[in-house]
Structure 1
Amino acid sequence: MVNRVICFCVVVLVASVQSAKDLPSYFPRCFRNDPKLNECLLKATETVKPFLIKGVPELNVPTIEPLVIPQIELEQGSQALNFKASLRNVTVHGLSSYKLDRFDFDVPNLQFFCGGHVEKLELEGKYKVTGKILIAPIQGEGVFTATVGKTRMDVYQKVKEVTKKGQIYIAPVHTNSSITVGNPKAKLDGLFNNNEELNKATNQVISDNIDVLFEDLKPVLEKVITDYLENILLAALEDQVPFAKLYPIKKDGF
């Protein structure tokens, strides 16, 4: 989740500023024929961090501190988790602590490799859920909170060239991601029509089995996040910025 978000924001910011009439002085230009392209991209993630934190509305870049996700639909049918849930107005705090150690663009093969971590994430929002956790039923709606410790994320993305109005753009083909989190915690308020006893018992089941439950839910979360970001990324890249502007070629070489 984490680095997918950061990579997305950086790429969109590159796209936005390079399609503007004036290139802001704070943003480094990374050329695709630069032998140190990956070094440039990695440095760019730190250079633009202050702007990502507060957001850049005029460039259609949302704030990442906090990041607000309007809606997430979850569904799982495994032995440990068998439920459907809808999350709304999910607020994520902590993305500003990101530190990437890899941001590579394999230009000939049109592939991105991105990796790094954040120290801690805190999430909150509204939920509606029905199903089972292990052998315990779960049903209700209300407010949820969750925290995870140091989180590692590695992402691979394949893109392709598409032609539109005589110009070449790049668009995502598919994305693979892996995530590792430390010390996850979660709490749901409002379960079983605010039945205090059942709410407490269900949250205890969640707490006692959080590592198993999160491991089971992880592929679902990764897919939801990837789909959410790719939909935004597709629009940002295909509709706005030609490849030649997104990653220009320096004509006089290096």
Structure 2
Amino acid sequence: MKRVLALLTILGINFVHSATIKGGIEVPTYLEPCQRNSPEFNKCIRNALQLLMGKLSKTGIPELELETLDPLKIAELIMTYDGGDIAGKVTLLDTYTRGFSAVKIIDVRSKTDDPNFFGMEIDFYVPRVVTNGIYKMDGRIAKFPINGKGIYNITATEVTGTWNLIGSPVTKDGEKFMRIDRLSVRPEVGNLKVHASNLINDNPELSQVALAFVNRFWKVLYQEMLPYAEESFDKILRQLVNKVFLKIPYDQLFPPAQTPSVV
């Protein structure tokens, strides 16, 4: 046994830690848990998230029903806009978003000292995000009535932002969990390019004019869409995050630092 352990050490193979969730399922955590009242907690979380995003991007975590994040697959998303230059209802189908495997976790700020409140801000950067799928829209973009259905592709570069998580405790079967009640984000984008077919139904010429308008004035349109898109981000991301927070007890996910015993 000693020889086997020595060989594993030489090969750089590390044993993973695990957390036990309901039903006795053990979920690998891939690193030491971060102690929530430690002065190094934020730094620990930043490093842990960076490693976890790499894991999620490749294989997901089947024990938590988390699929891969790259691509992130969304079967259906319905959004309603009512802004100055954009109004209408958009349905997105079979959406795939690629690029999250290259995410960089820049900084983490948290509030974990209140047993009735959980707060965390996570600054991130993604060099390139590409989203494609099928769309259906009934509304308008500026002066163009949009009643089309087709395929779309959006490429965003130099994406930065902050995930804001707000949670509260819940008790299940005598165990305390921290439920995320709100997960908001308003990403900033360096550049954005949109392609969409058939924006104006059965009128390819006007569809191209409308598409050219969108790509020319994307910054104005993007800012108008953000408040509405933020609600969609919250629904999608909060559901993903709670697959972790509502399955691993809070004291296992972020355990309190052990108080040294007095001899």
TM-score, normalising length from structure 2?
0.82
**Counterpart in 2 of 1:61?**
66
**Cα 1:172/1:45, change in 2 over 3 Å:** closer
CA contact (8 A) 1:27 1:48 kept: no
* Aligned equivalent of 2:180, options 172, 188, 202: 172
Instruction: Report sequence identity in percent.
Output: 22
Name the structure where helix makes up a greater proportion of residues: 1
In 1, are the aligned partners of 2:145 and 2:200 still within 8 Å (CA)?
A: no
- 1:42 is the counterpart of 2:46: yes
| Compared CA separation, residues 192 and 178, structure 1 to 2 (3 A) | closer
Greater alpha carbon shift after TM alignment, 82-91 vs 42-51: 42-51
Larger Rg: 1 or 2?
2
Unmatched 5+ stretches in structure 1:
1-15
Partner residue in 1 for 2:129:
121
What residue number does 1:6 align with?
none
Q: Deviations over 1:130-172 (max 9, x none)?
A: 1111111111111000111101111222211112221111112
Q: How far is 1:244 from its partner?
A: 1.4
TM-score normalised over the length of structure 1: 0.85
Aligned-partner Cα distance in 2 for 1:23–1:226: 25
Distance 1:124 1:50 in 2: 22
**The one of 77, 83, 95 aligned to 2:82:** 77
Corresponding residue of 2:169: 161
Which amino acid letter does the alignment assign opposite residue 137 of structure 1? P
Return structure 1 stretches of 4+ with deviation > 6 angstroms: none
Trace 1:83-94 onto structure 2 (pairs within 5 A). 83-94=88-99
Q: Which residue of 1 aligns with 2:11?
A: none
**Which residues of structure 2 form unaligned runs of 5+?**
1-16
Report the secondary structure of 1:30's partner residue.
coil
Report the Cα distance in structure 2 between the residues aligned to 1:23 and 1:189, rounded to whole angstroms. 43
Return closer, same or farther for 1:17/1:201 CA change in 2, 3 Å cut-off. Answer: farther
- The answer on whether the counterparts of 1:31 and 1:248 sit within 8 Å (CA) in structure 2 is yes
